[in-house]
C-alpha cells in the first residue's frame, strides 16, 4: 500500500558560491530600515507530492531525484524533508 | 438563407445563479443591452450565456464606444493584404513575402502585477502574429509610467521591463525598439503596449476561420485554469483606488510553452493541415470560438467537458471565460486530424478535440452532452451595440492650452541655457533607454541591422536585399492639450523616424489608450485623436491594418493622458541605402531640414524645466510632413545623407546632442549656429528647445551640401547648413538667439546615459 | 564539414547557428532532434543557445537528459568536436562534460550587448583561425552566465590553458567593468581537458554574417573547418570504412 | 539583549496560479522514470539571520519584510519559521 507524502527540497547556494540575490535582498532590506538583518541567503524550494510505501522510501526517492536532476551539487546544497499529506 | 436563427430553450444548470438585474449590471451590461439579448435569444439567457455576452460586448472585444470612430480610418492601399479584423494586419513586401504586425495593450494587468502583466501581454501579441502563419521577428514595447521619483513607479517599470524582456528573450524574438515616457499622469495607470512583427510567405497566410461543416475544433497548448476569468470585462473597467478589488486571478506567462506553440503552429500551417487558427486571448474560448465562426458565417458546437483543465470542478462559465495563457483554438480538416496530433505531440503539446464546425450559425456549448449555451453567432460577435457620444473639451484643458507662455521664452544667461539642456538630457523621457534595452535580447535571429538607440529599428527581410524599418511613437501630452494634433503627431513622428533610416513608411498599427469614454471630455479626446490619426495616415498613404483600444485607463476618476500609440512599418528596398541616426565623420556638414516656429507649448522643456503642462502643441502641416518623408527617402536612395535624426522631444538642442552622443566613434563634438536654421522669427526657447514638427538633423559629406539643398528644394522642404561635425571626444558648441554653450561631448553622454541607471539602481529582480 | 545542431525544446539560436555555418562559412549544417538517437555522421556537434525547457529549474538541467544527449556525451567523450554556446554551455556543464557551473548574472539582470573577449588560447580546434590575444567583439545575451567553480578547478583550468576566452575592455584588459556577469576570473569560455569540447557564453554565430557588419565570430567556425579537415586527412581510411557501414 | 535567530521564508505560488516551472520539473521527473511523483510546485526559499529580543519579535519582523519586499503576495504565499541559531 502506498501513501502520499509531501517532500520539501530546500536548495541553497553552496558556501563560497556568490549569492547575488541574497545580497541584494539584504541591502534592500537595509534601505527599508530593517537594520537587524545580519545576512540573507536566497535559494529555491521545490515541493513534491509523492506516493511511497513509507516516509523513508519517499525520502530516498526524492534524494535520488535531487542527485540526478533537482540540484546541482557543484553549485548547490540541498536538504530534503518529508511529511505526511495532511488529510 | 439560414432558416431558424432563434436559440432553443436551454435548461438552467444546477448551481448557477438566477439572472437578476443586479447580476446583469455586475456583468457590465446596461438594461438596454440586456433587452437586446432577450430579443436575440427569444428567451432569458442562462448564467453562462450572460457571461458570454458580457465578455463579447465588453469594450475590449466589442469596441462599443470606438467602433464607429475606427470605421473612419483608412485601411486600404496597394500594399495591404489584410486589414483590420483579423488577428493581425498583413502587408505585401514583395517577392511573395508578407509582413504581419499588430500592437496590443496590457495596461491593467501590468498595474497589478507588472512582471506577469507585461509577460502575458507579450505572449498574446506574439500569438496574434504567428496565428497568421508568420514567424515573429521582432517585438517593440511602448511604455508610459509615472515619475521615476515614485517608488511605486520604479517598481512597476522595473517589473514590466523584466517581464517584456524575459518573455521575448525566452521565446527567441528580439525586442528591438519602443519608447519609454515618464509623467505623473501615468502614475497609477501605466501603459504597456507591445507590438510584434512577423514575416510569412504570403501563400501561407491563414485566417482565424471556422469553416467546413464537421471539421474538428481542437484546443491546443496549456490547460485551462481559473486565471483571468473576466479579464476582458476587467480591462474595460476603471481600476479602483487600491487597484485590487475586482482583481481577477493573475495570469502567469509560460514562454516555454509559447515557444513550442509557435514552432508547432508554424509547422502545421506550413504543412497545410489547418483550416483556421486563433489565439485564445481576451475572453478565451468564447471569443476565439465565436469570432472564428463569425468570420466564416458558420456555427460551432463544443463540449467543455472535453477541454483539458488544470483545476477540478470548473464550471462551463469558468471554462468559457478563462484567460489562461498559451492556448489556441484550431480547426483542422478531418483527414488531417491525426497528422495535426502528431505534430503537436512531437512538440510535447496537448491537444484535445472539443467539438466541430456546424452550419446552423449557433455558438453551442455543451457540458457532458447537455447544452448550456446556444447563441446565434452573428449578433453576438458583430452586433454588439455601439455608441456615438457627444464629446466636449474640458474647460481646464482649454485654459491650459491658451495659457500665456511668454515668461518661458527666454533665458537669463548661457549658464541657464546649458543647465536647461542638461536637465532635458537627464529627463527620463528623453535620456538614453540603454538601461531598458540591454535587458532585451536584441540580436537573436540575426536580422537586426539597426537595434534600439536609433530613430527606427531596421530588420533584414527574407527578400533579396530588403529591410523593414519600424518605430513606435505617441505623445500623450500633446494629445491631452490638443487631441487632434496629438493623433496627427503620433503618425507623422513615426513616419519621420522610419524615413530617417531611409525607408518608405507603408502602414501602421495603433493602440488607443484613453480614459472612460462615458465622460464627454474623454470621448472628445478619443474622437479627435482618431480623426487626427486618420488625416495623417491618409496624407502619408500609410493605412491602418489593425490595432487595439484600451479605454478606462483611469484611477479614482483621474484619467491618464489620452495616448494614441502608432507602430509604423516602412520598407527599405536596398540595404545599402540605410541611414544611421548619429554623426559619422568629422568634417561632415550638419544641416537642419524643416522650419522652426514659435512653438514651445506642450514641450518637454516646459514640463521638465518648469513643471508646466500647457500651451498649444506644435501644429502639424500634413503636406509638409509628407514632403519631408519623400525628401528623406529620396535623399537616402541617392546616398546623399550620412546620417539623419528626427527632431522631437527637447527640440534642436537635444536632437543635435543625441547625434553627437551616439557618434560612430564615441561621443563626437560639433559646432552649430542655430540662427542659420530655417525658421520664422522665434524666441530663444523655441529655437533651442521647441518641438516644431517636420524637422530633421542631417549630415552629409563636406561638399555634398549643394546636392542636398537642390533635392530639398525639389521636394519643397526648407533646409540650411548649420555647422560641422567635430572629432570624437571634442567639444559641442551651439550658438543661437545670442546665446552660446560649449561642453565636452563626453559630458553630455554621461548625463544622457546615466539618467535611468541612476534612478533604477535600487530596483533589482528580487521577486522572481 | 557537416555540423549537427541539436534542437532542444526551447532552443532559439539554432537557426542563427545554421545560418552562420551555411551562409557565413558555406559548409553543411543539419538539425538533430532532441528525441533522436542518431548523430547522422556529423563532424561537429553544436548545442545552441536559447532557453531549453524554458530554463526552468536550472539552465540546461533538463535538456541534459534529452534522449540525444546519450549520443552527444558518447561522441564528446570519444574526442568528437563539441561546441556549446550560451545555453549549450550550460547544458555541457550540467552534463559534467565541462567543469563548473553558470549562475545568475551578478547584476541579477539579463544582459545583451557586444562584449570584448580576448582569445586566451589560439591553439584549440575552435580558435586556431585567431591570433593569440586577439580581441573579438561579439554579443552576449544571457541572464545566467556567471561562470563559477572552486578555486582548485579554476587554477587547473588556467594551468592547463583551458580558459579560451576572457572578457576584456577596450584596452584588452580583464577589468571588473569588462565583466558583464561577474564570472570568475573574467572567464567567457573554457574547454575540457581533451580540448575537444568548448563552452562559451558569447554568441559567435551572431557575428558571422557580412550583412550584419561584423564577422568576428566566424573564426570559431573557420577553426572548426580546419580542425575537421585535418582530422579527416589523418583518419581517412578508418572513417570511410565506417561511413559505408552506416549509410 | 538581542539574540540571533534564523528565519526561513518558504515562498510558493498561490493556489490556482499557474506554475510552469513546477509542471516542467514534474514532467522531466516522469521522463526520468520517477512515476510516483504526483505533483511539483516550485517556489523560493529565503533564509535570514536576524537579531531580535525574542523569537516572536523575529517572526513579526520577517513577516513584515515579506509583505513589503520579499514575497509578492499577489501571486505567492509565504510561511515564516524562526529558530535559534545553533551555536
Ligand atoms: N521601451 C523601450 N524598449 C526598447 N527600446 C526602446 C524603448 N524606449 C526607447 N527605446 C529605443 O530608444 C531609442 C530612443 O527612443 P525615443 O526617444 O522614443 O526615440 P524617438 O524620439 O526617435 O522616437 C529608440 O531607438 C527606441 O527604439
Ligand atoms: Mg527621443
Could you read off the pLDDT of B52-107 as tens digits, one per residue?
999 999 888 888 899 999 999 999 999 999 999 889 999 999 999 999 999 999 99
Whole-number pLDDT of residue B8: 80
Which atom of ligand 1 is nearest the CA belonging to B645? 22
**Interval C178-209: pLDDT, tens:** 999 999 999 999 999 999 999 999 999 999 99
CA-wise closest residue to D28 among C37, C67, A60: C67
Question: Which residue among B113, B256, B767 sits closest to D20, beta carbon to beta carbon?
Answer: B256
CB C53 to CB D31 under 8 A? Answer: no
Q: Which residue of B has its CA nearest to A26?
A: B766
Q: Which residue of C has its CA nearest to D20?
A: C56
**Extended strands (E) in B524-628:** 544-550, 554-555, 558-559, 563-572, 589-593
Angle (deg, nearest 10), helices B114-130 and B151-171: 30
CATH number at residue A14: 3.30.1280.10
Work out how many domains chain A is built from and give that number: 1
Is B243 a residue whose pLDDT tops 70? no
Provide the edge-to-edge strand list for the sheet that holds B504-513. Answer: B448-450, B457-460, B467-473, B563-572, B504-513, B544-550
**Chain B: nearest CA to D39, how far in angstroms?**
12
**Chain C: nearest CA to D57, how far in angstroms?**
31
**Interval B449-481: pLDDT, tens:** 999 999 999 999 999 889 999 999 999 999 999
Looking up cell 488544470 gives B310
| Mean pLDDT taken over chain B | 93
Angle (deg, nearest 10), helices B255-270 and B337-346: 140
Return the number of other C-beta atoms located less than 10 Å from residue B117's C-beta.
Answer: 24
Contacts of B615 (CB under 8 A, 6+ apart): B400, B401, B403, B405, B481, B600, B601, B602, B603, B606
Whole-number pLDDT of residue B430: 98
Integer CA distances (angstroms), B72 to B58, B67, B524, in order: 21, 9, 15
Integer CA distances (angstroms), C189 to C26, C162, C169, in order: 25, 9, 16
Percent of chain C with pLDDT over 70: 95
Q: What's the length of chain D?
A: 87
CA-to-CA distance for D25 and B252, rounded, in angstroms? 17
CA-to-CA distance for C183 and C157, rounded, in angstroms? 14
Q: Distance from the CA of C86 to the center of ligand 1, in angstroms? A: 27
Chain A hits for D46, Cβ within 8 Å: 22, 25, 40-43
Active-site annotation holder among C144, C205, C207, C222: C205
Whole-number pLDDT of residue C238: 52
**Residue B289 exposed, middle or buried by CB count within 10 Å (0-12, 13-18, 19+):** buried
Q: Distance from the CA of B208 to the center of ligand 2, in angstroms? A: 37
Q: What CATH architecture does domain C2-243 belong to?
A: 3-Layer(aba) Sandwich (3.40)
Q: Distance from the CA of B430 to the center of ligand 2, in angstroms? A: 5
Active-site annotation holder among B22, B27, B106, B336: B106
Percent of chain D with pLDDT over 70: 98
Chain B hits for A25, Cβ within 8 Å: 766
Q: Which residue of D has its CA nearest to A2?
A: D36
CA-to-CA distance for B450 and B464, rounded, in angstroms? 18
**Chain C: nearest CA to A31, how far in angstroms?**
18
Which atom of ligand 1 is nearest the CA belonging to B454? 25
Whole-number pLDDT of residue D86: 66
Which atom of ligand 1 is nearest the CA belonging to B453? 25
Q: Which residue of C has its CA nearest to A25?
A: C108
Q: Distance from the CA of B395 to the center of ligand 1, in angstroms? A: 33
Question: Which residue among D12, D40, D61 sits closest to A34, beta carbon to beta carbon?
Answer: D61
Whole-number pLDDT of residue B768: 44
Is B1 a residue whose pLDDT tops 80? no
Angle (deg, nearest 10), helices B705-714 and B622-637: 140
Chain B hits for C112, Cβ within 8 Å: 169, 437-443
A27–chain D Cβ distance below 8 A for any pair: no
Among C56, C61, C108, most D C-beta atoms within 10 A, so best to mutate, is C56
B250–chain D Cβ distance below 8 A for any pair: yes
The verdict on the CB of residue B731 being under 6 Å from ligand 1 is no
Alpha helices in B443-598 (DSSP H): 476-481, 483-500, 520-540
**Extended strands (E) in B9-106:** 80-82, 89-94, 97-105
Among C148, C149, C152, C185, most A C-beta atoms within 10 A, so best to mutate, is C148
**Interval C116-162: pLDDT, tens:** 999 999 999 999 999 999 999 999 999 999 999 999 999 999 999 99
Whole-number pLDDT of residue D2: 87
Whole-number pLDDT of residue B765: 45
Instruction: Give the cell for residue B219.
Output: 484546443
CB A72 to CB C105 under 8 A? Answer: no
Average pLDDT over residues B664-674: 97
What's the per-residue H, E or C state across B393-449? Answer: CCHHHHHHHCCCCHHHCCCCCHHHHHHHHHHHHHCCCCCCCHHHHCCCCCCCCCCEE
The verdict on the CB of residue B433 being under 6 Å from ligand 1 is yes
- For the CA atoms of chain D, what is the radius of gyration? 16
**Interval D2-53: pLDDT, tens:** 899 999 999 999 888 889 999 999 999 999 999 999 999 999 999 999 999 9
CA-to-CA distance for B451 and B661, rounded, in angstroms? 16
CA-to-CA distance for D60 and B768, rounded, in angstroms? 23
B 245-274 residues inside an 8 A Cβ radius of C: 254-257, 259-260
**Chain B: nearest CA to A56, how far in angstroms?**
30
CB B766 to CB A31 under 8 A? Answer: no
| Mean pLDDT taken over chain C | 94
CB pairs under 8 A between C and D: 21
Residue C24 confidence class, pLDDT cut points 50, 70, 90? very high
Q: Distance from the CA of B655 to the center of ligand 1, in angstroms? A: 13
Whole-number pLDDT of residue C45: 98
B623–chain C Cβ distance below 8 A for any pair: no
Q: Phi first, then psi: what are they for C104, rounded to 5°?
A: -55, 140
CA-to-CA distance for B376 and B325, rounded, in angstroms? 27
CA-wise closest residue to C106 among C140, C72, C133, C146: C146
Q: Is C27 a catalytic residue?
A: no
CA-to-CA distance for C94 and B726, rounded, in angstroms? 52
Percent of chain D with pLDDT over 90: 79
Cβ–Cβ < 8 Å for B320, B48: yes
What's the domain range around D54? Answer: 3-84
Q: Is C205 a catalytic residue?
A: yes
CB C54 to CB D28 under 8 A? Answer: no
The verdict on the CB of residue B74 being under 6 Å from ligand 1 is no
Instruction: Give the cell for residue B530.
Output: 482618431
Return the number of other C-beta atoms located less than 10 Å from residue A66's C-beta.
Answer: 20
Chain A hits for D47, Cβ within 8 Å: 12, 22, 40-43
B449–chain C Cβ distance below 8 A for any pair: yes
Q: Distance from the CA of B121 to the center of ligand 1, in angstroms? A: 19
CB A45 to CB D70 under 8 A? Answer: no
Active-site annotation holder among C13, C59, C86, C93: C86
Percent of chain B with pLDDT over 70: 96
Q: Phi first, then psi: what are they for C179, rounded to 5°?
A: -90, 110
Whole-number pLDDT of residue C246: 37
B 253-312 residues inside an 8 A Cβ radius of A: none
Amino acid at each position: 500500500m502506498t501513501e502520499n507524502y509531501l517532500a520539501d527540497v530546500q536548495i541553497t547556494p553552496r558556501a563560497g558560491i556568490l549569492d547575488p540575490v541574497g545580497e541584494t535582498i539584504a541591502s534592500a532590506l537595509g534601505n527599508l530600515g530593517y537594520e537587524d538583518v545580519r545576512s540573507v541567503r536566497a535559494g529555491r524550494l521545490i515541493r513534491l507530492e509523492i506516493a511511497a510505501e513509507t516516509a523513508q522510501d519517499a525520502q530516498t526517492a526524492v534524494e535520488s531525484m535531487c542527485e540526478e536532476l533537482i540540484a546541482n551539487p557543484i553549485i548547490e546544497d540541498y536538504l530534503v524533508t518529508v511529511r505526511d499529506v495532511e488529510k | 438563407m439560414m432558416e431558424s436563427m432563434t436559440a432553443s430553450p436551454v435548461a438552467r444548470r444546477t448551481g448557477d445563479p438566477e439572472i437578476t438585474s443586479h447580476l446583469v449590471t455586475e456583468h457590465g451590461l446596461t438594461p438596454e443591452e440586456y433587452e437586446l439579448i432577450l430579443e436575440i435569444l427569444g428567451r432569458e439567457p442562462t448564467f453562462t450565456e450572460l457571461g458570454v455576452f458580457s465578455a463579447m460586448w465588453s469594450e475590449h472585444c466589442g469596441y462599443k464606444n470606438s467602433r464607429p470612430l475606427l470605421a473612419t480610418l483608412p485601411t486600404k492601399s496597394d500594399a495591404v493584404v489584410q486589414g483590420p479584423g483579423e488577428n493581425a494586419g498583413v502587408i505585401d513586401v514583395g517577392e511573395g513575402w508578407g509582413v504581419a504586425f499588430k500592437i496590443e495593450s496590457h495596461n491593467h494587468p501590468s498595474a497589478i502585477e507588472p512582471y506577469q502583466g507585461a509577460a502575458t501581454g507579450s505572449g498574446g501579441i506574439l500569438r496574434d502574429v504567428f496565428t497568421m502563419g508568420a514567424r515573429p521577428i521582432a517585438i517593440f514595447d511602448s511604455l508610459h509610467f509615472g515619475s521615476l521619483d515614485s517608488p511605486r513607479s520604479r517598481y512597476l517599470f522595473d517589473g514590466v521591463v523584466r517581464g517584456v524582456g524575459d518573455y521575448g528573450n525566452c521565446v527567441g524574438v528580439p525586442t528591438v525598439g519602443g519608447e519609454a515616457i515618464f509623467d505623473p499622469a501615468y502614475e497609477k495607470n501605466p501603459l504597456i503596449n507591445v507590438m510584434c512583427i512577423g514575416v510569412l510567405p504570403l501563400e501561407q497566410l491563414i485566417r482565424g476561420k471556422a469553416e467546413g461543416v464537421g471539421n474538428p475544433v481542437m484546443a491546443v497548448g496549456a490547460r485551462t485554469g481559473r486565471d483571468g476569468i473576466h479579464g476582458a470585462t476587467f480591462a474595460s473597467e476603471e481600476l479602483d483606488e487600491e487597484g485590487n478589488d475586482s482583481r481577477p486571478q493573475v495570469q502567469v506567462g509560460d514562454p516555454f510553452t509559447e515557444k513550442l506553440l509557435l514552432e508547432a503552429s508554424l509547422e502545421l500551417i506550413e504543412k497545410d493541415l489547418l483550416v483556421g487558427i486563433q489565439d485564445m486571448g481576451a475572453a478565451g474560448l468564447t471569443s476565439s470560438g465565436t469570432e472564428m465562426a463569425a468570420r466564416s458565417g458558420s456555427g460551432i458546437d463544443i463540449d467543455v467537458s472535453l477541454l483539458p483543465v488544470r483545476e477540478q470542478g470548473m464550471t462551463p462559465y469558468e471554462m468559457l471565460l478563462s484567460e489562461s495563457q498559451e492556448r489556441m483554438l484550431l480547426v483542422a480538416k478531418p483527414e488531417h486530424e491525426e497528422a495535426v496530433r502528431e505534430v503537436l505531440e512531437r512538440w510535447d503539446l496537448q491537444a484535445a478535440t472539443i467539438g466541430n464546425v456546424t452550419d446552423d450559425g449557433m455558438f453551442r456549448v455543451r457540458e457532458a452532452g447537455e447544452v448550456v449555451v446556444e447563441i446565434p453567432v452573428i449578433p453576438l460577435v458583430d452586433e454588439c451595440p455601439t455608441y456615438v457620444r457627444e464629446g466636449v473639451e474640458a474647460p481646464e484643458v482649454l485654459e491650459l492650452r491658451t495659457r500665456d507662455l511668454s515668461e518661458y521664452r527666454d533665458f537669463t544667461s548661457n549658464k541657464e541655457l546649458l543647465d536647461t539642456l542638461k536637465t532635458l538630457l537627464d529627463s527620463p523621457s528623453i535620456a538614453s533607454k540603454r538601461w531598458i534595452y540591454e535587458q532585451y535580447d536584441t540580436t537573436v535571429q540575426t536580422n537586426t541591422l539597426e537595434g534600439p538607440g536609433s530613430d527606427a529599428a531596421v530588420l533584414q527581410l527574407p527578400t533579396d536585399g530588403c529591410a523593414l524599418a519600424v518605430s513606435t511613437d505617441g505623445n500623450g501630452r500633446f494629445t491631452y492639450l490638443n487631441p487632434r494634433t496629438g493623433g496627427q503627431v503620433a503618425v507623422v513622428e513615426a513616419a519621420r523616424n522610419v524615413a530617417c533610416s531611409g525607408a518608405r513608411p507603408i502602414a501602421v498599427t495603433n493602440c488607443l489608450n484613453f480614459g472612460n469614454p462615458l465622460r464627454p471630455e474623454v470621448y472628445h479626446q478619443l474622437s479627435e485623436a482618431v480623426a487626427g490619426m486618420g488625416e495623417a495616415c491618409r496624407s502619408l498613404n500609410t493605412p491602418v491594418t489593425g490595432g487595439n483600444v484600451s479605454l478606462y485607463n483611469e484611477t479614482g476618476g483621474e484619467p491618464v493622458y489620452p495616448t494614441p500609440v502608432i507602430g509604423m512599418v516602412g520598407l527599405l528596398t536596398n540595404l545599402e541605402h540605410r541611414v544611421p541616426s548619429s554623426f559619422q565623420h568629422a568634417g561632415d556638414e550638419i544641416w537642419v531640414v524643416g522650419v522652426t516656429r514659435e512653438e514651445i507649448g506642450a514641450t518637454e522643456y516646459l514640463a521638465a524645466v518648469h513643471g508646466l503642462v500647457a500651451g498649444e502643441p506644435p501644429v502639424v502641416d500634413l503636406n509638409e510632413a509628407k514632403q519631408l518623408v519623400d525628401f528623406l527617402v529620396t535623399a537616402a536612395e541617392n546616398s546623399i545623407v550620412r546620417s539623419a535624426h528626427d527632431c522631437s522631444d527637447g527640440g534642436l538642442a537635444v536632437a543635435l546632442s543625441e547625434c553627437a552622443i551616439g557618434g560612430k566613434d564615441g561621443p563626437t563634438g560639433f559646432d552649430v549656429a542655430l540662427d542659420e536654421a530655417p525658421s520664422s522669427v522665434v524666441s530663444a526657447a523655441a529655437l533651442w528647445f521647441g518641438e516644431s514638427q517636420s524637422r530633421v538633423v542631417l549630415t552629409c559629406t563636406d561638399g555634398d551640401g549643394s546636392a542636398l539643398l537642390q533635392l530639398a528644394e525639389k521636394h519643397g522642404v526648407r533646409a540650411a547648413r548649420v555647422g560641422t561635425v567635430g572629432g570624437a571626444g571634442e567639444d559641442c558648441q551651439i550658438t543661437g538667439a545670442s546665446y552660446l554653450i560649449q561642453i565636452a561631448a563626453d559630458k553630455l553622454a554621461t548625463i544622457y546615459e546615466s539618467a535611468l541607471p541612476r534612478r533604477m539602481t535600487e530596483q533589482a529582480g528580487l521577486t522572481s | 564539414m557537416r555540423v549537427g545542431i541539436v534542437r532542444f525544446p526551447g532552443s532559439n539560436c539554432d537557426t542563427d547557428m545554421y545560418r552562420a555555418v551555411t551562409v557565413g562559412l558555406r559548409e553543411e549544417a543539419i538539425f538533430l532532434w532532441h528525441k533522436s538517437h542518431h548523430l547522422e555522421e556529423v563532424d561537429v556537434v553544436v548545442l545552441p543557445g536559447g532557453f531549453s525547457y524554458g530554463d526552468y529549474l536550472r539552465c540546461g538541467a533538463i535538456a541534459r537528459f534529452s534522449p540525444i544527449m546519450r549520443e552527444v556525451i558518447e561522441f564528446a567523450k570519444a574526442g568528437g568536436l563539441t561546441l556549446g554556446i550560451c545555453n549549450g554551455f550550460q547544458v555541457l556543464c550540467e552534463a559534467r562534460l565541462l567543469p563548473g557551473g553558470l549562475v545568475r548574472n551578478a547584476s541579477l539582470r539579463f544582459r545583451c550587448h557586444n562584449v570584448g573577449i580576448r582569445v586566451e588560447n589560439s591553439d584549440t580546434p575552435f580558435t586556431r583561425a585567431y591570433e593569440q590575444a586577439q580581441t573579438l567583439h561579439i554579443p552576449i545575451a544571457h541572464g545566467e552566465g556567471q561562470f563559477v567553480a572552486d578555486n582548485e578547478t579554476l587554477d587547473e583550468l588556467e594551468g592547463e590553458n583551458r580558459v579560451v576566452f576572457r572578457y576584456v575592455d577596450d584596452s584588452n584588459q580583464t577589468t571588473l567593468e569588462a565583466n558583464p556577469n561577474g564570472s570568475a576570473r573574467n572567464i567567457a569560455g573554457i574547454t575540457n581537458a581533451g580540448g575537444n569540447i568548448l563552452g562559451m557564453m558569447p554568441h559567435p554565430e551572431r557575428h558571422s554574417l557580412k550583412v550584419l557588419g561584423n564577422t568576428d565570430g566566424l573564426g570559431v567556425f573557420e577553426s572548426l573547418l580546419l580542425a575537421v579537415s585535418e582530422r579527416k586527412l589523418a583518419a581517412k581510411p578508418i572513417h570511410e570504412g565506417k561511413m559505408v557501414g552506416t549509410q
